[in-house]
Structure 1
Amino acid sequence: MKLLQRYLHNPAACFGLLVLLAVIAMAASAPLLFPADPLSLAGRPLQWPLEDPRFWLGTDQTGRDIAAQIFHGARVSLLIGFVATLIAVCIGILIGAFAGYYGGWADNLLMRLTEGFQTLPSFLLLLVPVSVFGSGIATVTLAIGAVSWPATARLTRAEFLTLRNRDFVHSCRSLGMRDLQIIFREILPNALPPVVVYASVVMALAILLESALAFLNLSDPNVASWGNLIGGGRGVLRSQWYVSAIPGIAILLTVLAVSLVGQGLNDALNPRLKRP
């Protein structure tokens, strides 16, 4: 209850939560409001918003309803963001937990692996599996999760280095508990709060990475996504800028909302660190 009260006293966090709930509502209502295929031809190409009451966000260069693509694209972005974040957090927790708990050569080996992944930008690493295994939604989601774990691993390692010498861990060892039991049952629950907060950053990054791939025509073209819509509008950017601007605003608001929610959770969990 106190956590909720602290969160609700943060106006920026409340705004982010409202925007995120609105995006979730869009994704949930997409099949009801737009039951037809969002990529099917719906009317005359390049109609401006509100020019035709049937297409209140207009149509793109091929005559598809932009509103339908925005609503169905919300489902794609949230699904990719959530699943990719789950994959990245799981990988990062495993690597960071073992590195931080055991230390020594295990820590050196796992941290050198982590640093190796961080030497190249995530987007360049993402291009490799997408180029080799294709641009399907499943492949893109797995690839984003597989390149987004290093920061989570370093954060988890730092928490384990702090907690592994606490009295409750020594008590667990004296009771004969196995290392895996100590790691996952005793230390990990105490190390999770900052990791959960940082997951919002990973989710925002995942949404941006998918949009960047779609913009470059490296994501699934048979799926309605905000990035595909932006990429398709490049050719008419000077005359019909709304085709790219509308999904761009949707991406901006969603990423901003996820970031504000994460920051709000951080402030609620760590009230002493709250900014003046």
Structure 2
Amino acid sequence: MKVLRLFLSSPAAVIGFALFLVVVAMAASADLAYPGDPLDLAGRPLQWPFTNPRFPLGTDVQGRDIAAVIFHGARVTLAIGGAATAIAMTIGIAVGALAGYHGGLVDEILMRLTEAFQTLPNFLLLLVFIAVFGSDIATVILAIGVVSWPASARLTRAEFLTLRSREFVQAARVLGMRDLPIIFREILPNALPPVIVYASVVMAVAILLESALAFLNLSDPNVPSWGNLIGTGRAVLRTQWYVSAIPGVAILITVLAVSLVGQGLNDALNPRLKGRP
């Protein structure tokens, strides 16, 4: 397949995909490598990495095994990033598709709504949602998705504006197809490549937003997320910096992997590069 060959021809994309597979493998093997609740107390607090064979990455301020939290946190991080991205892209694609296809008053109303969401920074709007609706993990995921859709809506709208007057759309109208089938069966598949690429950006941002909330103790404390581990290490950052540094590196690797995969998809799906041998 040509797209796959173009993707694999990019060293950055291959590295990113390999790193992403490592994170997925950690999430899949968490129960086998570290059975039980990773939030349970495991030993003496604040043991440095590699000083106790039982805790290769040390323990945090509450005596929890950092390695166990890292493995189980990979599952939480991927779930948060994936679910929030799905919510954001669903809203964004629906709004952008309707605005770009219909134009006129529909476009004006939907774009003003999009601009209203973009007036405030994402994180500030996210704080408002958390303050109003609470900080359980389902609410955090929904809130991240709700504040992250405007850019994908604008991108989808731009694609629809360029495609809605093409010959295959005119032919579908002549054949009597209704608007919704034209939008979702004819135009949307042709508009998806850049939107799919942008989804990697949304996922990376979603992971960072949840980590920022957890660092401020505003995320769900009952889940073993990397952000929560960073937050618990904030009080001992000057002396036991490893408590925050280890999950910080895990977040960095995951965000880098998602970004590199997105870059590879952009190279593979970019129409200007499809003629490349």
Same topology, TM > 0.5? yes
Deviations 1:91-150 (A, max 9, x none): 001100010001011111111110111111111111122111111110000110011000
C-alpha distance in 1 between matches for 2:207 and 2:252: 10
Deviation string, structure 1 residues 218-263 (Cα, Å, up to 9, x no partner): 1110111111110110111111110000000000110010010001
Which residue number in structure 2 is paired with residue 196 of structure 1?
196
Counterpart residue number, 1:236: 236
**2: CA distance between counterparts of 1:157 and 1:66?**
44
Deviations 1:157-198 (A, max 9, x none): 000000000011111111111011110111011111111111
Q: Note the 1:18-29 alignment, pairs <5 A.
A: 18-29=18-29
State the distance in 2 between where 1:233 and 1:181 align: 52
The one-letter amino acid of 1:85's match is: T
Alignment of 1:81-160 (within 5 A): 81-160=81-160
**Distance in structure 2 (CA, Å) of the matches to 1:61 and 1:273:** 51
RMSD between aligned alpha carbons? 1.0
* CA–CA distance in structure 2, aligned partners of residues 59 and 271 of structure 1: 50
The SS at the match of 2:233 is helix
Residue of structure 1 equivalent to 2:74: 74
**SS, match of residue 171 in structure 2:** helix
Alignment partners' CA distance in 2, 1:169 and 1:8: 33
- Name the counterpart of 1:259: 259
Distance 1:7 1:160 in 2: 25
Which residue does the alignment assign to 1:49?
49
Distance 1:256 1:3 in 2: 21
With structure 2 as the length reference, what TM-score do the two structures score?
0.97
CA distance in 1, matches of 2:270, 2:98: 26
**Are 2:6 and 1:16 equivalent residues in the alignment?**
no
Whole-Å separation in 2 of the counterparts to 1:190 and 1:113 = 25
Corresponding position of 2:5? 5
Q: Which runs of 5+ in 1 are unaligned?
A: none
Q: Which residue of 1 aligns with 2:61?
A: 61
- The AA in structure 2 aligned to 1:86 is A
Deviations 1:12-66 (A, max 9, x none): 1111000000000000100111111111110111111110001000000111000
- CA positional deviation for 1:272: 2.9
Cα distance in 1 for residues equivalent to 2:185 and 2:13 = 31
Q: Distance in 2 between matches of 1:173 and 1:222?
A: 53
**Distance between the aligned counterparts of 2:271 and 2:233, measured in 1?**
44
Deviating beyond 6 angstroms after TM superposition, the runs of 4 or more aligned structure 1 residues are: none
Whole-Å separation in 2 of the counterparts to 1:2 and 1:177: 32
Distance in 2 (alpha carbons) for counterparts of 1:231 and 1:271? 43
Instruction: Give the deviation of 1:273 after TM superposition.
Output: 5.1
Distance in 1, Cα, partners of 2:237 & 2:75:
25
The percent identity for this pair of structures is: 76
Q: Which runs of 5+ in 2 are unaligned?
A: none
